[in-house]
Amino acid sequence: MAPKKSSKTKQEEPVEEVKITGSGWTEKMNQAIDDLSESRTSSTREESLEIITNIFSNHHVFSQIENRLEEILGLLKKSVAKNNSTKEACLAARAIALTFINLDDISEGEADDLYRRILSCLRSAIKNSPDVEIKMSCLQTLALITYTAASDIDKQLVREYLFDLIETDGADFNVDELSPQECDQLFAESLRAYGILYASSFSTGFVDFDILWEELEKVMPMHEMLLESSDKDVRIAAGENIGLMFESANVFLNADAEDDEEEDEDAVKPEYDNMDGLIHTLKDLSVDSSRRRAKSDRVEQKSVFRDIVRTVEDNEKPVEELKIGGKVLSFRGWSKILPLNSFRRCLGPGFQHHLKTNSMMKDIFRYSTGFVGRPQDDSDDSDEEGGGISTAGLSNVDKKYLYDENKKSRSKQIRSARIGKESNPDY
């Protein structure tokens, strides 16, 4: 069955931040970096960081900062570590993420080296800062730079670090002085961070199903518990991760029997122990009409959990379409949509620009494009210039999906041809 098309078609529009344009933006950026390097007041550093984040999000700056990368990251690291003001630390954390998003012309080895220079600073701030906004900003940045620049083993280690935060209720993360609402905000952000690293580990490259299933069984009970949270964002983040995990597992578990002629009939496919209870909970959340929750929260929750139920129960992937610059970009599956949302939050008003021009974004998402109004094939993962389905750069998960869909299509064609022959003896 082809994935059911979600109704999530969004028109990306400019937002409130004013874009620094014109030929002088490079000079403004370099001046802001220079000002950051001098002993200035926190307010001056905040102004410099606002300029840097504005330019890094709205322009492709790699060629302009290539020779200053270590200097820039060193300065940003200091602003996070000093903890002089919440605003300064949060701006610096976002600037770190934006720096890595702009590294589309750098080698994996260089990116990994820069990643290691910044990793300990972010982990320290997440663990030790008493300010929830700093913790959340650093969580967002840690997840994004790990997603874009880290090795497989580092992704695993950070994923374990994040799950430890979630599983222990932040016991070793200096949360004693946080309010219950702040703790909920922190756990929702931790779940989102965990989710995009799960997507990176189990939806791209070679995927070992045994390792995937071991991870799913380890973390699923905690995600089930968080579905009962009083906080809407925690429930949704936990639910989206569940959709992602079953989407990844379903590639292996729900292969069409008639297309797998060599399948061992005696082989027993694993099944999550509390599958019936999980589906029951997800369905309840997809129809929740409790008056105790705000109407807008109920509408958002029901929409998300309907997609989650379709993934877990029927192996259907949600599809999000963005209308940008007169074209439609299609993103199929939680493994694309969840990281996409993380990039959107970080880039803000520059999201459109990077989606159109940043080769890293194309390499990551392999999104299909077409003019508005032109029908889109959900299985078409060709790039903007491609004329058909290209498997170059696709994960083995996506390749298997395309392979299975092509086999189904061929089987239907063969059956149709047989029926045609039987009904027409002169054929």
Q: Examine residue 264 and state whether it is found in any structural domain, yes or no.
A: no
In this structure, the answer to whether residues 281 and 427 fall within a common structural domain is no
Q: Which residues make Cβ contacts (< 8 Å) with residue 248, sequence separation at least 6?
A: 198, 199, 202, 203, 207, 212, 335, 397
Residue 408 falls within a domain, yes or no? yes
Domain identity same for 194 and 310: yes
Domain's final residue, options 315, 334, 349: 315
Query: How buried is 42 (Cβ within 10 angstroms: 0-12 exposed, 13-18 middle, 19+ buried)?
Result: middle
With cut-offs at 50, 70 and 90, classify the pLDDT of residue 19.
low
Residue 1 pLDDT > 50: no
* Maximum separation of any 2 CA atoms in the chain, in Å: 90
Q: How confident is the model at residue 375, as a pLDDT?
A: 35
Least confident of 42-51, 315-324, 410-419: 410-419
pLDDT at residue 203 above 60? yes
Residue 34 in domain: no
pLDDT at 278 over 50: yes
Is 229's pLDDT higher than 70? Answer: yes
Q: How confident is the model at residue 263 (pLDDT cuts 50, 70, 90)?
A: low
Q: What is the structure's pLDDT at 85?
A: 92
**Two tokens, residue 122:** 């972010």
* 144 within a domain of the structure (yes/no): no
Give dist(CA 216, CA 273) in Å, integer: 11
Least confident of 96-100, 106-110, 137-141, 182-186: 106-110
What pLDDT score does 381 carry? 39
- Domain assignment present for residue 83? The answer is no
The pLDDT value given to residue 5: 45
> Is there a single domain that holds both residue 169 and residue 297?
yes
Q: Are residues 283 and 400 in the same domain?
A: no
Q: Residue 33 pLDDT > 80, yes or no?
A: yes
Are 172 and 279 within one domain? yes
What is the SS3 string spanning the chain? CCCCCCCEEEECCCCCCCCCCCCCHHHHHHHHHHHHHCCCCHHHHHHHHHHHHHHHHHCCCHHHHHHHHHHHHHHHHHHHHHCCCHHHHHHHHHHHHHHHHCCCCCCHHHHHHHHHHHHHHHHHHHHHCCCHHHHHHHHHHHHHHHHHHCCHHHHHHHHHHHHHHHHCCCCCCCCCCCCHHHHHHHHHHHHHHHHHHHHHHHCCCCCCHHHHHHHHHHHHHHHHHHCCCCCHHHHHHHHHHHHHHHHHHHHHHCCCHHHCCCCCCCCCCCCCCCHHHHHHHHHHHHCCCCCCCCHHHHHHHHHHHHHHHHHHHHCCCCEEEEEECCEEEEEECHHHHHHHHHHHHHHHHHHHHHHHHCHHHHHHHCCEEEECCCCCCCCCCCCCCCCCCCCCCCCHHHHHHHHHHHHHHHHHHHHHHHHHHHHCCCC
Res. 27: pLDDT tops 80? yes
303 plus 168 within the same structural domain: yes
Q: 183 and 293 in one domain?
A: yes
| Band (255; pLDDT cuts 50, 70, 90) | low
Q: How many domains does one find in the chain?
A: 2
User: pLDDT per residue over 47-90, tens digit each?
Assistant: 999 999 999 999 999 999 999 999 999 999 999 998 789 999 99
Query: Would you say residue 371 has pLDDT above 70?
Result: no
Q: Work out the pLDDT band at 264, boundaries 50, 70, 90.
A: low
Domain annotation covers residue 332: no
Q: Which of 170, 164, 118, 168 is nearest to 144 (CA)?
A: 118
Q: Which residue has the higher pLDDT, 61 or 298?
A: 61
159 plus 297 within the same structural domain: yes
Q: Helix 108-128 to helix 132-149 angle, to the nearest 10 degrees? A: 160
Do residues 191 and 304 share a domain? yes
Residues 282 and 421 in one domain: no
**Residue 414 confidence (pLDDT):** 45
The mean pLDDT of the chain is 82
Query: What pLDDT does residue 383 have?
Result: 38
Q: What is the pLDDT of residue 294?
A: 73
Per cent of the chain over pLDDT 90 is 61
pLDDT at 403 over 60: no
Of 288 and 378, more confident = 288
Please indicate, yes or no, whether residues 405 and 278 belong to a single structural domain of this protein. no
Q: What confidence score (pLDDT) does residue 21 get?
A: 53
Domain residue limits at 417: 395-427
Mean pLDDT calculated for residue range 245-261: 71
Highest mean pLDDT (candidates 219-223, 265-269, 362-366) = 219-223
Task: Assess whether 158 and 301 both reside in one domain.
Answer: yes
Residue 297 lies in a domain: yes
Residue 74 within a domain: no
Write phi, then psi, for 57 (nearest 5 degrees). Answer: -85, -30
Q: What is the percent of the chain where pLDDT is above 70?
A: 76
pLDDT at res. 230: 92
Per-residue pLDDT of 117-127, as tens digits, reads 999 999 999 99
Q: Confidence band (pLDDT; 50, 70, 90) for 260?
A: low
At 317-350, the pLDDT tens digits run 999 998 887 888 889 999 999 999 999 999 999 9
